[in-house]
Structure 1
Amino acid sequence: MKKIAGLLLLMTAFVTVGAQPSSDFFTVNADSSVVRLTEKGASLLAALPLKCIEQEYPNKTSHTSASDSDHVLTPRQLHPSFYGCFDWHSSVHGHWMLVRLLRLYPHLPESGQIRAILDSSFQPARLLKETEYFDSRYNASWERTYGWAWLLKLDQELIEWKDPLARRWHAALQPLTNNIKDRWKAYIKVQTYPNRTGVHPNTAFGLAFALDYARASNDTGFAAAVKQHAMRLYSRDKQAPSSWEPDGSDFFSPSLMEADLMRRVLGPQQFMKWFNNFMPANGLRHLTVLPHVSDRSDYQIVHLDGLSLSRSWCMQGIARVLPVTDLRKKLLQRSAVQHLATSIPQVAGGNYGGEHWLASFAIYALSAVE
């Protein structure tokens, strides 16, 4: 609790977004192009997944029961590795966050606790049970594609971290990773239309993380399939209706998430041509207006804090591929910092509806622009 209370000090660090806000918790370089979390900030944010990864309840399993005996299984019985943090996908990206922090900040005071928790979750027998869940009668599309995306992002982090323990955890995760990857390859063949939503099924988000994983794992066939699918779904899009955003429970911007995918798929010149046709100037300016979060105790409305964080990582990624002379580059960089500055103080707001997942979004926005 002391760590979580300390995280509230982030509020004083982010109250004013002036020229270049900075503090003990984060730094921003002179032109707003790079925002970095400090080790102190990382330590404080680590407290949130450390608190909830082994917290079984409250829990939203989204489980489809096949029988009486199946219906009464507890979250831990269903998911021995990823049962905490309210739901499966939040547990998965909580694990990703802890691996990410160990990799970037190996000397965190919490590193021993983090390693012990992760080592428990990555036990081969537990992960085989997780894998078997997807093979049961009603679960072929379970967690498609949001949970799938975060599972591949977790494995990507293990691949890129050159540590003996990470290699052992990566090996244990492979049955589940390969199961998810096979399901994704099958789904790409039958998905006719993209999901242009601001919540979990958003297709562009899932494909972006899938492509990151495919490249990190040198799976050229999977990468080619993802890129081809993205081009089929999105290459002809023009005049995104971004002025309609956000919906009331969005944690993604559908238009920014699509652009963040396409900057991965297209070369710089191709992306510029596509982006010029896709994103109207007034729509882009509209997306720089901060979301209003009216009730953070509401598990749906608090999604809007996540929207600020995901907008930030999309804006940072898009800005990086725009030319220095493009006025949109500076607009996106400054807005990315402002979105971070507004929402990071809310990550530890005292309500489990946000605390069980927002820290992962914050860490990705602060450290993981691909």
Structure 2
Amino acid sequence: MKKSISFCILIFSFVFASAQVVPTLTADVAEKLAKMPLGCIIQEFPNKTSHVANTAVDGRLLPSELHPAFFGCLDWHSSVHGHWMLLRLLKTVPDLKSKTEIIAVLDKTFSPDKMKAEAEYFTKYQVASTYERTYGWAWLLKLDQELYTWDNPDAKKWHAALQPLTQQILKLWKAYLPKQTYPNRTGVHPNTAFGLVFALDWARTFKDVAFEKQIEEKAKAFYLDNKATPAYLEPDGSDFFSPSLEIADLIRRVLPKKDFVNWLNKFYEKRSLDRISDLPIISDINDYQGVHLVGLSFTRAWCMKGIAKELPENHKWKKHFESTADKFLANALPLVFAGNYGGDHWLASFAVYALEKQ
């Protein structure tokens, strides 16, 4: 039965994408997506802690003992961006039926004691200073930014509670960035460009000029001379980022529009542009790595939308990026509901972020 249901959803996704009916973040869609992090934020198992044990004692600690706030949703970073997603929906979808339930969940997470313990994790254990670098760090700053920019009593309370963890992450990132000699160009969690995008957004929101300058200088050092990027080799088998599009999404933030267009014209060749415009082929949506390719459609979509906004109306790629992004969204959204916990614990956040770029 499950296979037949999944098959129907996959067929629906194909038809949806072919017809170019672009999904939007309606109240109904938001409600369905909200159910996913609501279900997994408090679900401790299965769990991938990625904890490097120092002794037999901490090697036997439960996920909730290591991370009292962000222990659910399979891994720390997914819990963090699951919280971001629920907060974002509370903030932007006034008719959300699950509003009361979401507030209760967030109120339980954002306790001062829990956040203090989360911050202490990064100094308590040997090598923990590299934990979740920089993907989880990026989502934590996105969560902090979302709380800070919402004029709401609960948000102000939650933001205050989060500060020990936010400040610890900032301390680690500011110490690490000057020492980072090379960027990570992978299509999964350690991707440098993705992390710097969220960090730069945070720095500008908080007017942290020194951190902003540090990020901009690194972005230029890493990527400004990149030409004819080999995106025709994308994707790898478990990518949820396009390495090339993440770079372009960062560079559009650090260059004036005219300079960015000149840079982009040299960055992509036709064969690479064609390759990143193809829908990812997902042979087994229930595979915990293969389902990453659903997320790839969302990240490609939000990068392409952002890039298109920086291009002049007569640029040869502007409409292509816009229509291709719509194709990715139409294909990917039904797939969010077609798999198992391998996608359920994280894909909804990517869907919300991508849909809001419409």
TM range (shorter): over 0.9
Task: Identify the match of residue 106 of structure 2 among 118, 142, 150.
Answer: 118
Distance 1:329 1:97 in 2: 29
Q: Structure 1: which amino acid aligns with 2:103?
A: R
Structure 2 distance, partners of 1:100, 1:225, is 28
1:166 aligned to 2:150?
no
Asked if 1:246 corresponds to 2:235, the answer is yes
* 1:187-198 matches, cutoff 5 A: 187-198=176-187
The match for 1:31 is: none
TM-score by length of 2: 0.95
Give the deviation of 1:281 after TM superposition: 2.4
Q: Return the offset for 1:138.
A: 2.1
Work out whether residues 256 and 315 of structure 1, in 8 Å CA contact, stay in contact via their aligned partners in 2: yes
Q: 1:147 maps to what in 2?
A: 136
Question: 1:169 & 1:351 partners in 2: Cα distance?
Answer: 31
> Which residue matches 1:30?
none
Give the counterpart of 1:38 among 26, 30, 38: 26
Q: Provide the rounded CA distance (Å) in 2 between the counterparts of 1:189 and 1:361.
A: 29
Q: Please give the alpha-carbon distance, in whole angstroms, between the structure 2 residues aligned to 1:325 and 1:282.
A: 21
Distance 2:14 2:106 in 1: 31
Q: Are the aligned partners of 2:84 and 2:142 in contact in 1 as well (CA < 8 Å)? A: yes
Q: How far apart are 1:109 and its partner, in Å?
A: 0.4
- Contact 1:249–1:302 under 8 Å retained in 2: yes
1:236–1:331 CA distance, 2 compared to 1 (3 A): same
Write the mapping of 1:82-97 to structure 2, written as runs, cut at 5 A.
Answer: 82-97=70-85
Normalised to the residue count of structure 1, the TM-score between the two structures is: 0.92
Correspondence for 2:40 among 52, 63, 79: 52
Secondary structure class of the residue paired with 2:283: coil
Partner of 2:15: 15
1:198/1:170 CA distance change after superposition, 3 Å: same
Residue 16 of structure 1, CA deviation: 2.8
TM-superposition CA deviations, 1:308-356 (whole Å, max 9, x none): 1110101111011011111211111111011111111111224100110
The answer to whether the 8 Å contact 2:285/2:339 transfers is no
For these two proteins, the number of residue pairs brought into alignment is 351
* Cα distance in 1 between the residues matched to 2:149 and 2:274: 36
Change beyond 3 A, Cα 1:179–1:291: same
- 1:247-299 CA-to-partner distances (Å, cap 9, x unmatched) read 01100000001000101111101101111111112211221111100111111
Partner Cα distance (1:11, 1:145) in 2: 36
**Counterpart Cα distance in 1 of 2:9 and 2:237:** 28
The runs of at least 4 consecutive aligned structure 1 residues that moved more than 3 Å come to 8-14, 17-20
2:287 is paired with a residue whose SS is coil
Task: Give the whole-Å Cα distance in 2 for the aligned partners of 1:334 and 1:19.
Answer: 12
Is the alpha carbon distance of 1:281 and 1:83 closer, same or farther for their aligned partners in structure 2, counting shifts above 3 Å?
same
Q: How far has the Cα of 1:161 moved from its partner?
A: 1.4
Q: Over aligned residues, Cα RMSD in angstroms? A: 1.7
Contact 1:13 1:21 in 2 (8 A): no
1:287 paired to 2:276: yes
Query: What is the aligned counterpart of 2:66 among 63, 78, 93?
Result: 78
Residue correspondence of structure 1 range 127-276 to structure 2 within 5 A:
127-136=115-124, 137-276=126-265
Q: How many angstroms does 1:107 deviate by?
A: 2.6
Q: Structure 1 CA distance, aligned partners of 2:73 and 2:18?
A: 35
Report if the CA contact (8 A) 2:20-2:330 is conserved.
Answer: no
Q: Is the 8 A contact 1:242 1:255 kept in 2?
A: yes
SS at match of 1:37: coil
The 8 Å contact of residues 259 and 275 in structure 1, kept in 2 or not, is answered as yes
The alpha-carbon distance between structure 1 residues 265 and 181, as it changes in their structure 2 partners (threshold 3 A), is: same
Quote the Cα distance in structure 2 between the aligned partners of 1:215 and 1:175: 20
What is the match of residue 315 of structure 1? 304
CA distance in 1, matches of 2:151, 2:232: 43
Q: Deviation of residue 217 (structure 1)?
A: 1.4
Q: Percent identity?
A: 54
SS of the aligned residue for 1:289 comes to coil
Aligned-partner residue type, residue 171 of structure 2: D
Alpha-carbon distance in 2 for matches of 1:247, 1:9 = 25
- Distance in 2 between the 1:44 and 1:10 partners? 18
Q: Does the CA contact (< 8 Å) of 1:198 and 1:251 recur in 2? A: yes
Q: Is the 1:146–1:202 Cα contact (8 Å) retained in structure 2?
A: yes
Moved more, 53-62 or 135-144: 135-144
Question: In structure 1, what is the Cα distance between the partners aligned to 2:342 and 2:247?
Answer: 26
Residues 121-130 or 343-352, more deviating: 343-352
Whole-Å separation in 1 of the counterparts to 2:79 and 2:241: 19
SS at structure 2 position matched to 1:147 = helix
Note closer, same or farther for the CA distance 1:63–1:357 as it changes in structure 2 (3 Å cut).
Answer: same
Unaligned runs of 5+ in 2: none
Which residue pairs with 1:62 in the alignment?
50
1:11/1:165 CA distance change after superposition, 3 Å: farther
Determine the structure 1 residue equivalent to 2:327.
338
